[in-house]
Amino acid sequence: MKITKEIMQKIEGEAELELSWEKGKVVSSKVKFFSYRGMEEIIAGRCPMDALVLTPRVCGICGHAQLMATVHALENIYENCDIKLEISEKAKILRDITLDAEIIQNHIKWLYFIIIPILYKMESKSFDNKRTFKALKVATSATKLIATFAGQWPHNSYMIPGGVVCDPTYVEIFQAKSLIDEIISFFEEEIVQADIEAIVSIKTFKDLNSYNGLAKEMIDIMQKHNITDVGKSHDRFITFGENSIFKSSKSIRTVTRSINAKYIEEESLDFTYAKNVLYNGKFYEVGPLARAMVAKNPLAKNIHRVYKDSLLNRIIMKTMEIAYLANHIKDSLNKIDISEPSFIKPSKKLENLEGVGDGFAEAARGSLYHSTEIKNGKIKKYDIITPTQWNLGNSKDKDELSTIQQALLGLDNEDVISLVFRSFDECSVCTTH
Amino acid sequence: MKKSDILWVQGITCNGNTQSFLNYPNMKAFLKKYNFLYHPYLDSDLNVQEALEYDKKFDFLIIEGAISKDFMRVGFNFFNQVQKLCKNAKYIIAVGTCAVYGGIFKEKDPENITGAIYDKDKENGFLKKFKDKIFNIPGCPAHPEWLVFTIDTLNKYEKIITDELNRPKEIYGYLTHHGCTRNEYFEWKVDSKDFGTKEGCLFYLQGCRAPTTHGSCNRILWNEVNSKTRSGSPCFGCTESSFPRNKMFETKTFMSIPADLPVGVSKRAYLTVTGIAKTFHIKRLKDKLI
């Protein structure tokens, strides 16, 4: 048996992928993360509100999702103390808009900086970097949209228990509308060449394939290299974050069931800083494909009929999520009533409460879970479980492989391995929080 | 014209400065002048192992993240490698508060994690021997324009005017307060009653550190459109060595006077002006804007 080790780079840091080979095929794998920064320990002992400033700094690319999970965890402490918090519809909409915009910027960067270069390398072609620059520019339209309400991106703390700190006028709302229109136009011109209404109602793979654009280019390359079928895992999906677009549920193949956070288990390992995460003893996939499958997205289900939870489905649903979210932001901006309050002050201060709270948010890469406890006016403990932990586990049981281990099984080509690995869009800094 | 080489390395970091840099609006123009030997996200000549072992002379070393003597990056001792890179670099830029003072990640192990020149406010960072060629761009994260301005200036003029903390004066000679849309409320001492309002100043109750924080957040806007304080969030003083402070959403007061006053303003001056300003009840400033 041959063993190879490769440093997977530019995944918001690095990880080592160790592969065992037999007869030219991958028979097992291990993922190792190198460092650990101790964010949970840094937060412990501090004033509860300070978590809103600290947790975004877990990660430069999904800090806003960290903020969302923190604010949910802190608000959950109020609920668990039987204090009803009122959050205005306006504040809820704004929180969702800026979170969705963060996911959009991430997916655009992932597509153009990670996935496309590998696909083009397989074709021995180079991708026109004018298109990459155009994509980067549009990613900054998404971050600008966040800043329009949240002050800046990366690293703001504009969501607080009780609402948001900003108080936008229609000037900001219209600026945001222009920015989202830019993003939608980009998607319509570059990725799927159709109107956004048509794009978001695509229900079949055949239908998607009838439009030109980057999505079709990617499908063509995957078909040509016969890799549409690779990268399948357990066909088990889970999504915890719930808001105006995401639904919390799990799905095995296409059967969905409700979930309960008490079945989430973490498992330490001796050779990596990343902990395994399981739900009721099983590994699940999180992320855009999981979100689409639990929400019974017709396109995801249609692709699933032939290709299951393959590389193809994972890449397509992550790409399409850009359009779904952009369209959702556009609708949401029309629903904001600026006369509503942005912030409704909670009747008690957090440091005067004692109790525990759980918070979920959908980050670009999947479900994020924060859980915390306040005691004697301070944060007693803070736990973070990140999406990459769900997808990139190292199983202790050879009969129950982790999501990535299962997906890599049987692969025989370096580029394809890299593509399958990166289709999960792992994040090293999050994982080694 | 030959492009100047940049090698960007990461110590203990969240990648916030890397991502912040990707917001730079004129990236195409930037990459006509500079070549990334290594960048943590953008396409570059070397892989991370080659970058850490690079042994030729080059123009700019950018350090993101805090430094500890036992931090490992892809199997290399980061501190050993970065010292070699420092020797070969013409200029070194510490970008972000972690690289400058230790920042948030210093809190994990305060004894053993520092910034480049500084350990919080003490000149005791693990790379202080390279002080003469290190330029500090603190901020959590640093604004991409601040970084590009510093690189461009050094590239063109081979020098930049800095203050006593090796920060470019043209960025850090200002306070975050300068240019805040709430300035008039600060002047007339009209406080925000709570979060979520356009009106009022956040200095007195909501913990805003803008009058005590060096930076250009309200002069060179974030993402070209906004700033924390304009949007309604207090400034957390993230460009200063004291970041992260405790109780960042509250203003620490002493006998109902803010414990930290605007830079260079004496308590007597502050009290006098505040006392007078507060005697006037200016209706326009007490009313809602819209």
Provide the b/e sequence for A286-298 (b: ≥16 CB within 10 Å).
Answer: bbbbbbbbbbebe
Supply the CATH number for residue B16's domain: 3.40.50.700
> Closest Cα of chain B to A238: distance in Å?
26
What pLDDT is recorded for position A56? Answer: 97
Q: Which domain holds residue B288?
A: 174-290
Mean pLDDT of A202-206: 98
Supply the CATH number for residue B208's domain: 4.10.480.10
What pLDDT is recorded for position A271? Answer: 87
How many separate domains does chain B show? 2
Enumerate domains of chain A plus CATH numbers: 2-431 (1.10.645.10)
Q: Taking each helix axis from N to C terminus, what angle separates A311-335 and A414-423, rounded to the nearest 10 degrees?
A: 30
Token pair belonging to A263: 């079945």
Rounded CA separation B48/B41 (Å): 11
Q: Per-residue pLDDT for B273 more than 90? A: yes
The residue of A167, A171, A173, A350 whose CB has the most chain B CBs within 10 angstroms, and thus the best one to mutate to test that interface, is A167
Residue that finishes a domain, picked among B130, B165, B200: B165
**Within this chain, do residues B226 and B124 fall inside the same structural domain, yes or no?**
no
**Within this chain, do residues B22 and B154 fall inside the same structural domain, yes or no?**
yes
Rounded CA separation B160/B228 (Å): 28
Contact B233 A167 (CB under 8 A): no
What pLDDT is recorded for position A210? Answer: 98
Do the strands B34-38 and B4-10 form a parallel or antiparallel pair, or are they unpaired?
A: parallel
CB A374 within 8 A of CB A380: yes
**Within this chain, do residues B19 and B158 fall inside the same structural domain, yes or no?**
yes
> Which B residues 41-80 touch A at CB under 8 Å?
41-43, 47-49, 71-75
Q: What is the pLDDT of residues A328-356, one digit of tens each?
A: 999 999 999 999 999 999 999 999 999 99
Residue A427's pLDDT band (boundaries 50, 70, 90)? confident
Contacts of A365 in chain B (CB under 8 A): none
Contacts of B250 in chain A (CB under 8 A): 49
Q: State pTM to two decimals.
A: 0.98
The residue of B231, B247, B250 whose CB has the most chain A CBs within 10 angstroms, and thus the best one to mutate to test that interface, is B231
Q: Per-residue pLDDT for A16 more than 90? A: yes
**Within this chain, do residues B111 and B179 fall inside the same structural domain, yes or no?**
no
Residue in chain A closest to B15 (alpha carbons) equals A60
**Within this chain, do residues B191 and B152 fall inside the same structural domain, yes or no?**
no
- ipTM value, please give it: 0.98
What pLDDT is recorded for position B154? Answer: 98
What pLDDT is recorded for position A430? Answer: 84
Looking up tokens 């390359």 gives A221
Residue A388's pLDDT band (boundaries 50, 70, 90)? very high
Rounded CA separation A42/A35 (Å): 15
**Within this chain, do residues B106 and B89 fall inside the same structural domain, yes or no?**
yes
**Within this chain, do residues B153 and B234 fall inside the same structural domain, yes or no?**
no
Q: What is the pLDDT of residues B81-109, one digit of tens each?
A: 999 999 999 999 999 999 999 999 999 99
Rounded CA separation A199/B146 (Å): 39
β-bridge partners, A26? A21
**Within this chain, do residues B213 and B158 fall inside the same structural domain, yes or no?**
no
**Within this chain, do residues B186 and B210 fall inside the same structural domain, yes or no?**
yes
**Within this chain, do residues B161 and B179 fall inside the same structural domain, yes or no?**
no
What pLDDT is recorded for position A13? Answer: 87
Residue that finishes a domain, picked among B165, B196, B228: B165
**What percentage of chain A has pLDDT greater than the value 90?**
92
**Within this chain, do residues B159 and B178 fall inside the same structural domain, yes or no?**
no
Residue A216's pLDDT band (boundaries 50, 70, 90)? very high
Residue that finishes a domain, picked among B135, B165, B195: B165
β-bridge partners, A278? A265
**Within this chain, do residues B285 and B187 fall inside the same structural domain, yes or no?**
yes
